[in-house]
Amino acid sequence: MASMRKIAIAVGAGALLAGTSMAADASRLHLFGSHSPKPKPEQAQGHAIHYHWTSGNADRGHKDLVATFHKVGLAPGQYVWASRLPQGETRIAVDLVTQMVYVYRGDQLIGASTMSAAKTGHITPYGNWTILEKRPFYRSKKYDNAPMPWMERIDNYGIAFHGGVNPGYPASHGCMRLPMKFAEKLYGVTKIGTKVVIEG
């Protein structure tokens, strides 16, 4: 009887340890989610930022922002733009983690801006895209005829760059909302076929 009791205690202790180990592993892997708020990205202090998908353009954009415009970051609604534009093809890099857009001509950063991409329940898609359509003023067919000034569409669903409210966090239905003046400047340097990469 005593030996049965010892076996039961040993089995119970083993299960408890296993459960603790599994819970710790699950916590590390975020299987049960997290009750603590996510820390904000801290590129300026040299902390690594976790991306689900990247080919290095987002990180390069931040480094070029510091090197070219001497800015470590921008406040919501802020942007920077070069006084002179070099020759070359325009391309756009979007960072969904830091909610930033970087615009290049050739290898030179010519502008950068804060943005507001998809809020929870909506998607701004990762990947390589091209600008398919441009209109100086457009209205959304899906969302209550909402105005989309300086609209530049990148997919068949309707995801686009356009001027709009830029609160400093993801708040759109999927589009990349830009400060109005930056959206206008971006519109002026792109064309149908301009390359866009979205990382995050």
How many of the other CB atoms lie within 10 Å of CB of 44? 11
The CA angle 155-148-68, to the nearest 5 degrees, is 80
In-domain check, residue 52: no
Same domain, 27 and 79: no
In-domain check, residue 80: yes
Same domain, 21 and 102: no
Dig out the tokens for 199 from the structure.
């990382």
Same domain, 68 and 11: no
- Give the pairing type, strands 195-199 and 127-130: antiparallel
State how far the Cα of 131 lies from the Cα of 197, in Å rounded to an integer. Answer: 11
Mean pLDDT calculated for residue range 16-24: 37
State how far the Cα of 17 lies from the Cα of 23, in Å rounded to an integer. Answer: 10
Q: φ and ψ at 88, to 5 degrees?
A: 125, 170
The total number of structural domains that make up the chain: 2
In-domain check, residue 50: no
DSSP 137: S
pLDDT band at 140 (very low <50, low <70, confident <90, very high): confident
Same domain, 131 and 184: yes
pLDDT band at 145 (very low <50, low <70, confident <90, very high): confident
State the pLDDT at residue 144.
74
92-118: pLDDT as tens digits: 999 999 999 999 999 999 999 999 999
- Name the residue with higher pLDDT: 55 or 139: 55
56-82: pLDDT as tens digits: 999 999 999 999 999 999 999 999 999
DSSP 49: -
Domain of 133, in residue numbers: 57-199
State the pLDDT at residue 49.
82
